[in-house]
Amino acid sequence: MSRFNKVFLRDKLGGRAYLAAFGKHPAWNDHLGLIGAQTESLALLEDVLYRQGIALQVAAGRWRDATGAAKTPAFNHRFVWSRGRQSIVGAFWPSVDGKGRTQFPFVCCVQSELPGSSGVQIYLDYVARTGAQARQASGQPEVQSILERDGYDLNRWKPVTPSVAPQVLGSGQERAFRDNLAVLAREVSHPAMGQQNSSAGGQARSLRLRAPDGAAPANLWFYASFLEQFAPAPAIYLLITGADPAAPVDCVLGEPAPDAFFCLGADAQEAPVTVPPAPSALTERCRQNIDRFLAACVSGTLPASPRRSPWAWLGR
């Protein structure tokens, strides 16, 4: 078992939330390193997402424009990484270091003892505001002061579990997003995925999904909440989307390989939306559960937890 699968999102947080940042900033001549909170999961996130993921794409020159020239992605993304009752939500922005190099983003994130759907609702806007302020700060002491202040403020109030769903779908939109949920249902109920859940290992599975018509936090919540309906839920899942509401949502189930982050700069031709399965590929129970989830989203009610309404592998 890899170190990632063994320890990621298994820190003892003691009910607290932890704020951190890393990446590039004009006040540093090179990479910041991890500043702010120093949990093992946040250190792993910096390593897997940034030093292994983004850095290797840049070094290999994998991101190219229409003419074949190297390009830097927009790096204006929001993400949630979740495992059971713990998650990290974060945001990143295009940035530059003190020497004018622009190939890497500035990243800000919060780790908490909440599943991904609740983490997105409670902390993502907070992270986006803090990260934007830190990114615009002019000097290292100011950046560190913002992170220290907001990391402290993060734990001055007790998070309230949301009682309503974000406004993601309007009436009549259920059909448009049934196929997207069918893609996730097929992957989570795949035998290899069940093996992953029991061993916390195996090959990661990457998907690209259409975004609902909400803002980025609502789009992330939509798919995170759906994944959390499964019993058991995927051991580890990552969702990333652009800040533009129309941006697709990329999903990684399991431990990502470095090339999983090619999606950050991939267009619709390089990474098309995953083709949904034929209706006959899903059980009737699975299709009914998808319909119930969509109906709950339209009504604004939070879907029932698996303990009250177990999906149990969708009737496989």
pLDDT at 199: 40
Going residue by residue through the chain (316 aa), what tens digit of pLDDT does each one get?
799 999 999 999 999 999 999 999 999 999 999 999 989 999 999 999 999 999 999 999 999 998 889 999 999 999 999 999 999 999 999 999 999 999 999 999 999 999 999 999 999 999 999 999 999 999 999 999 999 999 999 999 877 777 777 877 766 677 778 888 999 998 887 645 444 443 444 557 899 999 887 789 999 999 999 999 887 778 899 999 999 888 999 999 999 988 999 999 999 999 999 998 888 888 898 888 898 888 888 887 776 655 444 444 444 4
Q: How many beta carbons lie within 10 A of that of residue 119, not counting itself?
A: 28
Least Cα distance to 234 among 203, 206, 273, 194 occurs for 194
pLDDT at 95: 96
The answer to whether the beta carbons of residues 109 and 124 sit under 8 Å apart is no
pLDDT at 159: 77
Contacts of 136 (CB under 8 A, 6+ apart): none
- Element spanning 185, H or E: helix 174-188
Task: Please state the separation of Cα 230 from the chain's center in Å.
Answer: 18
pTM to 2 decimal places: 0.91
- The residues spanned by each domain of the chain are 1-316
